[in-house]
Each structure stands twice: as C-alpha cells, then as structure tokens.
C-alpha cells in the first residue's frame, strides 16, 4: 500500500475540514495516510486527524515560515518513503505544495478534483482554463504532490491516528509570518462555505448588498460572494470575487443574484452542487447553468425569499 503524507491545517484544537477532505482523498485511493501538523496546538489537534494511521508534529519555530516548513515536510515525505503528498487547496496548502514539490524535484498538481491509485503512484483530475476543461494526469516524478479542491472529497470515515511522532523544523527561515489581522467577524470564506450567495452589478447601489447578506444570514453557514463588476466598483473586497480571476467555488448551493453569467464568472462556480439564479432578464446566460431560476427584480424577490426561508426553517 502506498503512503501519502497529508499536511493538516488546524484551528481551535482540531484539524480543519479542508484538510480532513485531503486525508479522505488519499484514503479513498487506498493509501496509508500520515498526517503532518505544524504549530502551536499541533499535538492536541493530531488526535482529530481521522483517517491517518500516524501523525507527525513539526516542532520548533514559533512563527510560520513556508520555506522552513516546506523543507521539513519534504524530509518527512522522504523519511516515510511516501509516494504522495497532499494539502488542501487553501492559501496555506497552495503556498506550501509547490515548495515541497521543488524540494523533491517533482511537478505539483493544483486544485485536484479526483485522486485515484495508478500502480504504486496516483492519477489526478484537475481543471484547466479555470474549469473550462478537465485534465486527467499522471506523473513520472517519484512523489505525486497535489492540492485538493475544497468541498469535493469526503473526509475519511475512520479513527484517530494510532501513533504520533515529532520532527524538528531545522532550516533557517527566510520568510516568517509576524502578524495576523483576523477577519474579526469570523466570516466564512467563499471557498469553504457550503452555501455561497453572490451579488452582481444588477444590485445597482452598494446599500443593496444588504439584501444579499440578509439572505445569507437566513440560510446560515453561507458566505457572500461577488462578480468582478462589484469588486471593480469597490463595493466588495477582492477576496469575495468568484470567477477566473477570483476564487473558484464548489458549494452545495450557489445563488447568483443580478449576475449576468459572463464566461469568466461561470468558470468560478459552474461545478457548484445546485445553482439558483435570480435575474430580471430571462435571456441572461446565467440561466443556462442554473438548476432553478427566477426571472424577476432582485429587490422584490430577495426579501420575499429571505422571509420564506426564515419561515421554512422555523417549521423544520
């Protein structure tokens, strides 16, 4: 059985859902998983790396250094004789994986949506041109390094690691994280949220974004997204932009409000589970990818939808 090292991010004493999905991807490909965790609280969080047979905690260095941690992770990959390395396609994972790959002198694969066994190595499927095409790839490298797209793989249905070990981060850090200015309101990120409600230029005034936020609050577990038009207008931060030059999202439910559905926007959301579009123009291209559409004025439909959802939840 091939071994896969999975870099596990953790917060509040537990491994993040996105990393559990990476473990799930490796486990479903029949691999034995070794979880690697860095940072304060790693040894407590290791117990929640379900699906891994072993956890390795990286010690030393109190400030995160991507270059130093990547060197240590590559050491673990070599020491374990692993054939694969996975991380979630989060900021950290995407930043780390190519560095680990360079240490191992292999080419990395970003944002994979499938991960299966191929001999003693692996085969991946990943988007090209922001998902306009899907490529199935294998690697001639010794280790297959990849990041897994969020909300695509299921966490492994298995127990906690039976064994834990430590490995020191020994390389001299060249870059270090010295401060974090948190989001404060603990808002969900569009990439992680199970529900995304996005607004477009048809909202007409920045105040009207409130309608979108109210709907998100009524549904719960929802993040607000935006078309590039809204971001360019400066009404929403770039971190919320969905599309080819923003974030690619695959939530269970995506609601596009007053968004026309330009090809660059569709590239960022067309793999969502269920797509709902609300647009006053019945010919808007967004309806071509929508499972359910309402043709109508967002200013009338949104408040009614928000109330109806509150009502439905109260009855549930």
Ligand X SMILES: Cc1cc2nc3c(=O)[nH]c(=O)nc-3n(C[C@H](O)[C@H](O)[C@H](O)COP(=O)(O)OP(=O)(O)OC[C@H]3O[C@@H](n4cnc5c(N)ncnc54)[C@H](O)[C@@H]3O)c2cc1C
* Contacts (CB under 8 A) with another protein, residues 24-63: none
Taking the C-alpha atoms of residue 264 and residue 269, their distance in angstroms, rounded to an integer, is 10
CA angle 276, 271, 286 (to 5 degrees): 40
233 binding partner (options ligand X, another protein, none; Cβ < 5 to 8 Å by kind): none
Which helix (H) or strand (E) segment is 145 a member of?
strand 144-148
For residue 277, with 0-12 CB atoms within 10 Å meaning exposed, 13-18 middle and 19 or more buried, which class applies? buried
Does position 270 interact with another protein (CB under 8 A)? The reply is yes
59 binding partner (options another protein, ligand X, none; Cβ < 5 to 8 Å by kind): none
Nearest approach, Cβ of 264 to ligand X (angstroms)? 4
Q: Which of 229, 255, 277, 290 is close enough to bind ligand X by CB under 6 A?
A: 229
135 binding partner (options another protein, ligand X, none; Cβ < 5 to 8 Å by kind): another protein
Does position 258 interact with ligand X (CB under 6 A)? The reply is yes
Q: Which of 22, 65, 241, 306 is close enough to bind ligand X by CB under 6 A?
A: 241
Nearest approach, Cβ of 295 to ligand X (angstroms)? 9
- Cβ within 8 Å of residue 134, ≥6 positions away: 113, 125, 126, 127, 128
DSSP 56-123: EEEES-SS--HHHHHHHHHHHHHHHT-SEEEEESSHHHHHHHHHHHHHHT--EEEEESEEEEETTEEE
Q: Which of 19, 97, 151, 260 is close enough to bind another protein by CB under 8 A?
A: 97
Contact footprint for ligand X (CB under 6 A): 200-202, 227-229, 241-246, 258-260, 262, 264-265, 268, 279-281, 284, 297-299
């Amino acid at each position: 059985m091939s071994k896969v090292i999975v870099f596990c991010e953790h917060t509040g004493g537990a491994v993040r859902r996105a990393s559990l999905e990476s473990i799930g991807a490796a486990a479903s490909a029949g691999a034995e998983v070794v979880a690697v965790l860095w940072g304060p609280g790693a040894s407590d969080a290791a117990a929640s790396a379900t699906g891994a047979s072993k956890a390795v905690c990286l010690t030393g260095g109190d400030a995160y250094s991507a270059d130093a941690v990547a060197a240590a992770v590559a050491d673990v990959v070599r020491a374990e004789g692993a054939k694969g390395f996975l991380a979630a396609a989060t900021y950290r994972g995407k930043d780390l994986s190519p560095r680990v790959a360079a240490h191992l002198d292999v080419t990395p694969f970003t944002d994979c949506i499938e991960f299966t066994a191929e001999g003693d190595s692996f085969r991946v499927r990943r988007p090209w041109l922001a998902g306009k095409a899907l490529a199935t790839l294998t690697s001639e490298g010794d280790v297959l390094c990849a990041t897994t797209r969020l909300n695509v793989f299921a966490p492994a249905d298995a127990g906690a690691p039976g064994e834990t070990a430590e490995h020191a981060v020994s390389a001299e850090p060249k870059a270090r994280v010295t401060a974090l200015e948190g989001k404060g309101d603990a808002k969900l990120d569009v990439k992680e949220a199970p529900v995304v409600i996005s607004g477009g230029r048809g909202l007409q005034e920045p105040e009207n974004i409130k309608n979108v936020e109210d709907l998100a609050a009524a549904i719960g577990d929802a993040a607000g997204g935006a078309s590039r038009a809204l971001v360019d207008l400066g009404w929403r931060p770039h971190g919320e932009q969905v599309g080819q030059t923003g974030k690619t999202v695959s939530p269970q439910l995506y609601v596009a409000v007053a968004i026309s559905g330009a090809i660059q926007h569709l590239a960022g959301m067309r793999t969502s589970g269920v797509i709902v579009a609300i647009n006053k123009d019945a010919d808007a291209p967004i309806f071509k990818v929508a499972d359910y559409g309402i043709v109508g004025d967002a200013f009338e439909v949104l408040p009614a939808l928000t109330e109806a959802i509150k009502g439905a939840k109260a009855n549930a």
